[in-house]
Amino acid sequence: MVQITCIQPEVFQENNKCYTEIEEILKNFFSKYNSCDIICLPERWIPLTNEKKINVQEERGKNYQFIKKLAKEYSVGIISGAIWEKREASIKPRITSYFFDDTGEEIGRQDKIHLYSYERKNFQPGEDLIMFSFKNICFVILICFDMAFFETPRLAAENGADILFSPTQIRAEGIENWESYLKARALENRIPVVACNTYGQILKSKFPGNSKIISFIKDFISPSKLRIIEGPINSSGYAFDEFDLLFPKKLRKLRFKEIIEKSEINVKKAGF
């Protein structure tokens, strides 16, 4: 069994207030639950301004250090959400998500591969899909728009991932599409999906939260049935669930036996 939590803090106009908000939610969570394996933060949990330079931090800067400290303090694995940072080796800044183990050690980082809209002009995309391992759990981090394309989730599942984590920043008007993507990725790969969404107002956009932890109801093989635990809507808080990884692994094995490679399917035209 694996225990997973999405922490959904409100985004305030001051960084320190955002830090305090996360700490309060963590205290509240651990007052009710004794343990957790991995906590995921949303893509954005700090304020955004119109001044681009202010929004981008130095590599492994203040936000990085804050999450690293929390992982050590609470003895829990934490996915940092997405941090905008500049690196000496990169032409443009990166949007990246770090994973810290339960001692606060950095295990690795995943750069956002599919950049969305304005991000393509301002950031450098990731080239690698990182497979993380922690407590015998193999997982990947797909930052928001990375979930909108089937290739990256499928590649993760084919290479042994047990869970797809997705720190997201979905506006209210995009929630319906987002939910469809998450369910589709879970079903087409028979893999649990954990998507932690931003809550609050950033510039002129509203983000409703409503994070999702999607797993599978045991013993339903055909058709498979999803179990969906949701975070609060239009409120800060968290979503927590505990589920078995062995059953979806069984489902995944069966599903991948049914795949027909594209190269084996002939495309023909009629009526042209």
- The number of folded domains in the chain is 1
Read off the tokens for 262.
Answer: 């594209």
What's the domain range around 231? 2-264
Q: Which residue has the tokens 């008007």?
A: 173
Q: What CATH number did the domain enclosing 38 receive?
A: 3.60.110.10
pLDDT digits (tens, 9 = 90+) for 126-185: 999 999 999 999 999 999 999 999 999 999 999 999 999 999 999 999 999 999 999 999
pTM more than 0.85: yes
In-domain check, residue 99: yes
CB atoms within 10 A of CB 240: 17
Residue 269: inside a domain: no
Q: Which residue has the tokens 């998500």?
A: 97
Pairing of strands 132-134, 106-111: unpaired
Integer CA distances (angstroms), 201 to 6, 41, 150, in order: 19, 17, 29
* Residue 42 resides in a domain: yes
Of 158, 178, 177, give the one whose Cα is nearest residue 167.
178
Give me the tens of pLDDT residue by residue for the chain, a chain 272 residues long.
Answer: 999 999 999 999 999 999 999 999 999 999 999 999 999 999 999 998 877 777 899 999 999 999 999 999 999 999 999 999 999 989 999 999 999 999 999 999 999 999 999 899 999 999 999 999 999 999 999 999 999 999 999 999 999 999 999 999 999 999 999 999 999 999 999 999 999 999 999 989 999 999 999 999 999 999 999 999 999 999 999 999 999 999 999 999 999 999 999 999 999 999 99
Are 18 and 9 in contact by the 8 Å Cβ rule? The answer is: yes
Residue in 29, 133, 31, 20 with CA at minimum distance from that of residue 66: 20
Tokens coding 173: 């008007």
| Helix, coil or strand: residue 3 | strand
By residue count, the chain amounts to 272
Q: Are 197 and 209 in contact (CB under 8 A)?
A: yes
Q: Give a yes or no: residue 272 inside a domain.
A: no
Residue 82: name the closest of 169, 163, 4, 160 by CA. 169
What is the C-alpha to C-alpha distance for residues 46 and 81, in angstroms, rounded to an integer?
10
- Virtual torsion, Cα 43, 46, 49, 54, nearest 10 deg: -100
Residue 226 inside a domain? The answer is yes
Edge-to-edge strands of the sheet including 163-168? 132-134, 137-141, 163-168, 193-197, 212-221, 224-230
> Is 270 part of any domain?
no
Does residue 151 fall inside a structural domain? Answer: yes
